[in-house]
């Protein structure tokens, strides 16, 4: 199946560029598709070999089988940090008459008595009654260069998830997509993976890996680019999109791909610029 969604031609920093995106509804769908492709000629590596040895400092794992396991089963190591962030959002009162809490089979805080009794509804989750026409697409660009380490990627992810929770507590339905750019000089190949649909509750363990772990868009993302028809290896896997396009150009691209109400959040700016996420969400209201 051809998953190229749309080619966009846009003025970049170094002249005209073509944006080409492949988007997937889940990480599992991504793995299944790429496993059926051959490595593109010119690439010296194959990250999709489960025995491939990774750079643990850079990718956060020692071999690819770890990335596949976390994608399938979730990443539990930092779940408590995400739960704390969600509790902070609730404590600050980002809620209205449309929002509250309810027992659920997934969620962010365990209901200990229910868990002890073996009841399926053993997690506390948000109970949002959103307005039907208020769906927002949040596209999170993990636009980190090779010098950004694992702890900073986690910190940026926590800021973005806090913003998503605030929007949902206010009554919005949020569709969350994570994306990364892989490029040659005049063609930018973007990998986009759906993390949460607008109708899904937030499952902390499930979103941790694609949103927070460097292996998602470094190890698995590299493997995708190595097998992408039309991918081109020069000296590496490309540059962050925020070094190639202005913020306005990125916004224009995201609106063409996801609709005019879509909001792009840049990971590097979320990490380094105070008030950046609030500025991006300015003017969003029910």
- Per-domain boundaries in the chain: 4-75+86-97+129-280
**Tokens linked to 127:** 């109970």
Maximum CA extent, the chain: 63
Tell me the pLDDT tens digit for each residue of 199-231: 888 777 788 888 889 999 889 999 999 998 877
User: 114: which residues sit within 8 A by CB, 6+ positions away?
Assistant: 103, 121, 122
Query: How does DSSP assign 147-215, residue by residue?
Result: T--HHHHHHHHHHHHHHHHHHHHTT-EEEEEEEEEEE-SSEEEEEEEEEE-TTSPP-HHHHHHHHH-HH
pLDDT at 87 over 80: no
What is the C-alpha separation between 59 and 148, in angstroms, rounded? 11
Tell me the pLDDT tens digit for each residue of 99-148: 456 677 776 566 766 766 777 776 767 665 544 458 899 999 987 888 88
What are the C-alpha distances in Å from 29 to residues 71, 181, 199?
11, 19, 19
What is the C-alpha separation between 140 and 195, in angstroms, rounded? 10
Q: pLDDT higher for 197 or 16?
A: 197
- Residue 269: predicted pLDDT: 93
DSSP-derived letter for residue 217 is I
- Residue 240: predicted pLDDT: 80
Q: Nearest to residue 172, comparing CAs of 140, 130, 129, 125?
A: 130
| pLDDT band for position 5 (cuts 50, 70, 90) | low
Q: Nearest to residue 121, comparing CAs of 198, 194, 201?
A: 201
Helix (H, G, I), strand (E, B), or coil: what is residue 283? coil
What are the C-alpha distances in Å from 35 to residues 142, 153, 210?
23, 27, 18
What is the C-alpha separation between 153 and 157, in angstroms, rounded? 6
- Residue 98: predicted pLDDT: 45
**Tokens linked to 13:** 């920093």
- Apex CA 198: angle with CA 191 and CA 262, to 5°? 60
- Residue 112: predicted pLDDT: 60
Q: In what order do the strands lie in the sheet with 4-12?
A: 4-12, 15-24, 187-196, 173-183, 135-141, 263-266
Tell me the pLDDT tens digit for each residue of 253-270: 898 888 888 999 999 999
pLDDT at 12 over 80: no
**Tokens linked to 24:** 């997937």
Query: How does DSSP assign 71-100, residue by residue?
Result: HHH---TTHHHHHHHHHHHHHTT---TT--
- Residue 109: predicted pLDDT: 63
């Amino acid at each position: 199946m051809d998953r190229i969604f749309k080619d966009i031609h846009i003025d970049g920093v170094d002249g005209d560029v073509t944006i080409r995106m492949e988007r997937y509804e889940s990480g599992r769908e991504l793995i299944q598709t790429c496993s059926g492709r051959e490595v593109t000629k010119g690439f010296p590596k194959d990250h999709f070999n489960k025995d491939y040895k990774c750079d643990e400092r850079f990718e956060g794992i020692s071999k690819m089988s770890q990335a596949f396991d976390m994608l399938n089963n979730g990443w539990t190591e930092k779940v408590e940090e995400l739960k704390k962030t969600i509790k902070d959002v609730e404590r600050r009162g980002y809620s209205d008459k449309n929002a509250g809490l309810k027992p659920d089979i997934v969620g962010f805080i365990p209901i200990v008595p229910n868990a002890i009794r073996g009841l399926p509804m053993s997690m506390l989750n948000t109970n949002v009654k959103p307005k039907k026409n208020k769906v927002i697409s949040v596209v999170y660009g993990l636009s980190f260069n090779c010098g950004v380490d694992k702890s900073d990627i986690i910190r940026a992810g926590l800021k973005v998830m806090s913003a998503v929770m605030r929007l949902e507590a206010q009554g919005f339905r949020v569709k969350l997509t994570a994306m990364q750019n892989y490029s040659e000089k005049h063609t930018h190949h973007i990998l986009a993976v759906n993390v949460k649909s607008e109708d899904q509750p937030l499952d902390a363990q499930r979103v941790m890996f694609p949103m927070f772990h460097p292996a998602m868009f470094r190890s698995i993302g590299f493997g995708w680019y190595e097998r992408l028809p039309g991918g081109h290896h020069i000296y590496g896997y490309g540059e962050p999109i925020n070094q190639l396009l202005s913020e306005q150009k990125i916004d224009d691209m995201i609106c063409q791909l996801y609709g005019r109400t879509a909001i792009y959040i840049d990971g590097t700016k979320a990490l380094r610029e105070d008030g950046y996420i609030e500025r991006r969400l300015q003017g969003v209201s029910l």
